[in-house]
Chain A
Amino acid sequence: MQAIADKKGVKRYLISLTVNGDEYSPVIKGNTLLVNLLRDELDLTGTKKGCELGDCGSCTVLMNGKPVDACLVLALEADGSEIITIEGVARHGELDRLQRSFIDNAAIQCGYCTPGMILSAKALLTRNPHPTEPEVRAAIAGNLCRCTGYVNIVKAVLDAAEVKA
């Protein structure tokens, strides 16, 4: 990985990563968080910040297919990886079945947890296309929602699992 130092000796690193299928080569600091790279540098503000401690899951993105809290991942660690954010879930304006199902099941209120929820659920359905209700609850247990009591979110994920991909 290429590194350059500024006048004060603070290093910057050139990393390469794919976000929603597009390749980027940003220059970042060692302490830059993935969530800040996505939001501040790439303007992908669909990834939300709720706690910056890994408690709430609002910043969940898929890193090489696995859900991660982007506030706990250094941008450096994402070098060479494939990232999917909420902006990359719908294809050519067509909503993903999970997005459709969240709408149909009234699973959205303030919407702040929604991107992270959908990505955690997407990771679940990719590895387990027909989850049970406890499996759905376990998969989204790291994503806090303060509005819905999770009732309709669980229903939406189960419903989406029923729909043929």
Chain B
Amino acid sequence: MIPSTPADQKPKSIPRAYSHPGLPEPADKNYAVIGKSKPKIDAREKVTGQARYTADLKFPNMLYGKILTSPHAHARILSIDTSEAEKIPGVKAVITHKDVPTLKYGIAPARWDENIFCIETVKFVGDKVAAVACIDEETCYKALKAIKVEYEVLPAVLDPLHAMDADAPQIHPEYPLNKNTEIHQNFGDVDEAFRKADYVRTDFFIGNRTYQAPLEPHTATSIWQDGKLTVYSSTQSPHYFQYYIAREFGLPMGNVRVIKTYVGGGFGGKLEPTGLEFGGAVLARLTGRPVKMFYDRAEMFAHNRGRHRQYMKLTTGVNADGRILGVHADFIMDGGAYTSLGIASAYYAGAMLTLTYDFENYRFDMNRVYTNLPACGAQRGHGAPQPRYAFEAHLDNIAKELGIDPMEIRLRNARKPNTITPNEFVVNSCEMVACLEQARDLSGWADKKGKLPAGRGIGVATGSFVSGAGYPIYRTDLPQAAAMIKVAEDGTAATLYTGATDIGQGSDTVLCQMAAEAMGYTYEQMKIVAADTETTPHDFGAYASRQTLMSGAAVKEAGEEVRKQLLDMAGEMLGLPAEQLDVRLGKISAKENPETALSFEEAARTFFVKKGPLMGRGSYAPPKLGGKFKGAPVGTSPAYSFAAQVSEVEIDEETGVVTVLDVWDVHDCGQVINPALLHAQVHGALYMGMGESIWEEVRFDAKGKIQNPTLGEYRLPTALDMPRVHSSLVPSYEPAGPWGVKEVGEGATLPTMGCFRNAIFDAMGVSVNSLPLTPEKVWAALREKRKANGEDVWDPLACECFLE
């Protein structure tokens, strides 16, 4: 089923150790502002209901807009008649593909395959066909109903495993066999490794289609005035929105202003512009009025861009003591109808498997196929969590076969600092061993493994993630991040201007802490203007866990520039060389003689009077990273986080219900800027991983229509479902990050699925080889085990009561 690999790449020799030339770990870490749990800078606005999200904005003369979507998974559009809709009072504009640019777009430049509105065919249930702008929401629904579209229904591709069949319907004529992305990577000599191995094992796993499901539905309000387009949007990246909207309409980027309001969560789903921005912009231009476009919950599920379902075959060769010699990952992923960020997802799926364990030989084959289902993209952890689940399960199978404790096999293989992965990622700091050891000790592994009462089990898994992608999504020489700081004229406040995008994770807060630390100022005096392409400097936004390291590096440089100018001025005022002065928490003092003092405010005010605005600027571009092979940039990063999780579960043998009792997460995320927010990120990532592990799955009927496009039936975990969570850290310092920081926001999603699977495996001796690990599957696996043991098993499906 999965094609074999052509050996198109020669094995190459890679240096196995590497020493990063970045900043050495400071001896004195007596920080004044960072490393402290400061309250979120936007907390008061959020607890009082004052925080305004895009849907909360009103503009004079504003219209409401909605998109008409396809009811068919695959169909030819024969005709569209909008005349009846146009006659309805209150309908101000009705648009189809004839009224909008036909330039294809997409967040990934290698495959621009989407149109604002479908031209010839619709490709999934929910594909965009037309849009209306009306005086209110109710009129929008009347207008949508009145648009008559004639379709010729075509056969659809709903099973990704048959998408590449020769007789499968073709979704995009330019991509034969429905192949969207095909990858063959080969590092070292896997075949030789398997020959040398004492034990070679193959396992097969299947992932689930999950959706980010941020609580805030997507909304965009477009205003087109005097040739300039302004878009307020719930976005994770004002920059990519600005770039792609400008490209679509042939506008200079300077005439497109994208403003992020408060964003109610993104998790990867709000990274790319949607029909709301593109369609809304056209409606705003045609009507000359602001147009607010929005998805309801079902439309969000249909727009999707959530996690790909992956079909994962893993083969690993180990020696007798469990050391991994070589790995072959052979995957297929269901991409849905469009590319979205899926090329990167496909590469990430394989690239990130080399991080937590050190092995030299690796082969990765992947086909991302088109299907007539909603397009998949980047969800927290990107392509990596499902392969990580598969590999951690696979490794436990190997450990069991060899009679090695699962914790021990991981410790034996754990990556060390200053090493290079087979696919040429440079790893500087890496406390994988310390994470595992601490998770082992905190969880009481030694007292529990093999000693728990019946029905209980304990499992372990690891994860690692990038601290920012080494390269932006489209090719450009722009720096990754830039920042400006302006000190108020009297020195009593300072404003950080950054393009970094706070979607709830707290970047506004940690970046203000970093600015204050670099300036020698207080957090409480910081203000922030963020994520507005007109007033803030460039930044690529919130994805790939990049902002603490990348935006933080730019902020640090800007803060240090303020500090230097301030101390030069203070030196002049005090008649001392600037080098002899220090500034901390807004107080300037002489290093030798702390009695000599001046306030930040006094020096800043004098600076303004004599020299004009006191400002600092900074930017950050990572060093050139990665190898030279095809796809080498994906997965590169200045630094990688590492994590180990242990979980303890209890299984009800009668029903297959899994209750997770405790989870211990131990993270290596470098220097911590705000411990409270950091642990909160771990809680949230773990929660998301837990939902995907046990309940969450987007399901389709036989015609490709989503069966459960609601939060209740998709089954987001509630407060009653969460286990006890223990989030812990190991000391770590990353030379490539400002003050030694690394990522945390996505890393903790990675180990969870494998960790739970392994705990179930430990408890019951059964392997659930597909996600989510639902009660039905656990129950069925237990039943199979009893049958295999020769037990007489009652078959409920054979029961006469079900034979009606």
Which residues of A approach B to under 8 Å, CB–CB?
39, 43-53, 55-56, 58, 85-87, 89-90, 95, 99, 102-115, 118, 136-138, 140-154
Contact = CB atoms under 8 A, between A and B. Distances in A.
Contacts of B216: 48, 50, 110, 112
Given A53-B712, A148-B684, A112 B264 contact: yes
User: Which of B680, B719, B722 gathers most chain A CB within 10 Å?
Assistant: B719
Contacts of B34: none
Given A109-B504, A147-B684, A55 B47 contact: no
27 contacts: A43-B58, A44-B49, A47-B49, A51-B710, A52-B296, A55-B712, A86-B49, A89-B48, A104-B39, A106-B37, A106-B680, A108-B43, A108-B47, A109-B506, A111-B45, A112-B216, A112-B264, A137-B720, A137-B722, A141-B720, A143-B719, A145-B719, A147-B680, A148-B680, A149-B683, A149-B687, A151-B725
Interface string B481-493: 0000000000000
Contacts of B690: 149
B711 A110 contact: no
Nearest to A102: B47
A110 B502 CA distance: 8
A111 B720 contact: no
A56 B40 contact: no
Given A56-B215, A58-B215, A149-B687, A112 B53 contact: yes
Nearest to B47: A99
Contacts of A39: 56
A106 B264 CA distance: 16
Interface in B713-769: 716, 718-720, 722, 725
Nearest to A45: B56
A155 B707 CA distance: 35
Contacts of A47: 49
Contact of A55 (B45, B263, B711): B711
B40 A146 contact: no
Nearest to A114: B46
Interface in B53-69: 53, 55-56, 58
A54 B211 CA distance: 19
A49 B44 contact: no
A55 B710 contact: yes
A109 B684 contact: yes
Contacts of B222: none
User: Which of A53, A102, A147 gathers most chain B CB within 10 Å?
Assistant: A147
- 3 closest pairs, A vs B, by CB? A46-B49, A110-B504, A149-B687
Given A48-B216, A50-B215, A50-B297, A99 B48 contact: yes
A103 B725 CA distance: 20
B324 to A, nearest CB: 32
B503 interface: yes
A110 B720 CA distance: 21
Contacts of B265: 109-110, 112, 146-147
Given A53-B710, A138-B720, A46 B50 contact: yes
Contacts of B58: 43
A118 B37 contact: no
B105 interface: no
B46 A50 contact: no
A152 B40 CA distance: 14
Nearest to A144: B716
B158 to A, nearest CB: 26
A87 B584 CA distance: 38
B229 interface: no
A39 B49 CA distance: 11
Contacts of A55: 297, 710-712
B47 A114 contact: yes
B47 A95 contact: yes
B124 interface: no
A141 B262 CA distance: 25
Interface in B488-534: 503-506
A162 B480 CA distance: 46
A80 B51 CA distance: 29
A144 B50 CA distance: 20
Contacts of A112: 53, 214-216, 264-265, 504
B676 interface: yes
A39 B42 CA distance: 21
A111 B683 contact: no
Nearest to B40: A108
A66 to B, nearest CB: 19
Contacts of B263: 110
A149 B55 contact: no
B725 A48 contact: no
Nearest to B267: A146
B504 A103 contact: no
Nearest to B39: A103
Contact of A151 (B47, B262, B503, B683): B683
Given A53-B297, A141-B719, A90 B43 contact: no
Given A111-B264, A112-B216, A150-B718, 18 more contacts: A50-B215, A51-B711, A53-B710, A87-B49, A103-B39, A106-B676, A111-B45, A112-B264, A112-B265, A114-B46, A145-B215, A148-B687, A149-B690, A149-B725, A150-B722, A151-B680, A152-B683, A154-B719
A121 to B, nearest CB: 11
Contacts of A85: 49
Contacts of B718: 141-142, 144, 150
B692 to A, nearest CB: 12
Given A48-B264, A104-B39, A95 B215 contact: no
A44 B56 CA distance: 9
Contact of A103 (B43, B213, B505, B677): B43
B686 interface: yes
A138 B718 CA distance: 9
Contacts of A152: 680, 683
A113 B215 contact: yes
Contacts of A48: 53, 215-216, 264
A30 to B, nearest CB: 12
B52 interface: yes
B49 A95 contact: no
Contacts of B350: none
Contacts of A87: 48-50
A103 B683 contact: no
A49 B56 CA distance: 10
B322 interface: no
B217 interface: yes
Contacts of B722: 137, 149-151
A44 to B, nearest CB: 7
Contacts of A103: 39-40, 43-44, 47
Given A49-B217, A146-B215, A146-B265, A95 B48 contact: yes
A91 to B, nearest CB: 11
Interface in B18-39: 37, 39
Nearest to B509: A106
Contacts of A86: 47-49
Contact of B46 (A53, A104, A108, A151): A108
Nearest to B506: A109
A47 B52 CA distance: 11
Interface in B244-274: 262-265, 267
Contacts of A149: 683-684, 686-687, 690, 722, 725
Nearest to B48: A90
A56 B217 CA distance: 12
A89 B21 CA distance: 53
Contacts of A43: 58
Nearest to B676: A106
A154 B722 CA distance: 11
Contacts of B711: 50-51, 53, 55-56, 144
Contacts of B505: 109, 147
A70 B395 CA distance: 49
Nearest to A157: B719
Given A95-B47, A115-B49, A146 B217 contact: no
Interface in B127-142: none
